[in-house]
Amino acid sequence: MTDSLILEVADFEQDVLTGIYSEETGKPQPLRFTISVALKPAAHYTPDTPLEASKNYMDLKFAASGAIPEGVHFTLIEAVADHVCDTLFLQDARITAVTVKIVKLAIAEAGEKIGITLTRHRR
């Protein structure tokens, strides 16, 4: 059996230009992200293991905030998720898979969670 390490940043919000309807285009929409990455783990972690043996979880958040190109409109949130996956795969060769869950907050009417979950594996 192979060891695995999953890093996750859950339920953070970011405004992104996305949508297909006229009321959605031209202005950012609030999206809620949960991002998980599968990372090849170190053989063992000790109390003094340095951060380089893992990954800074803030890199996951950056992939859905600072790495989203400003002024670019994503028609589908699937494309936003794909961009996040590509960004993370480029950041770190140890990442073997990325899962991005996006909930569109602006279209919920009664607190339901409407969105997608995309998982990509390194090719």
What is the mean pLDDT of the segment spanning 18-35? Answer: 87
Number of domains in the chain: 1
Catalogue the E-assigned strands of 28-94. Answer: 29-39
- Per-residue tokens: 123: 């090719």
Which residues form the domain of 16? 5-42+51-121
Ramachandran angles phi, psi of 33, nearest 5°: -110, 140
Q: What is the predicted pLDDT for the residue at 1?
A: 73
CATH number at residue 98: 3.30.1130.10
Tell me the C-alpha distance between 98 and 81, whole Å: 10
pLDDT in tens, 27-84: 899 999 999 999 989 889 999 999 999 999 999 999 999 999 999 999 999 999 999 9
Tell me the C-alpha distance between 30 and 114, whole Å: 12
Tell me the C-alpha distance between 87 and 68, whole Å: 9
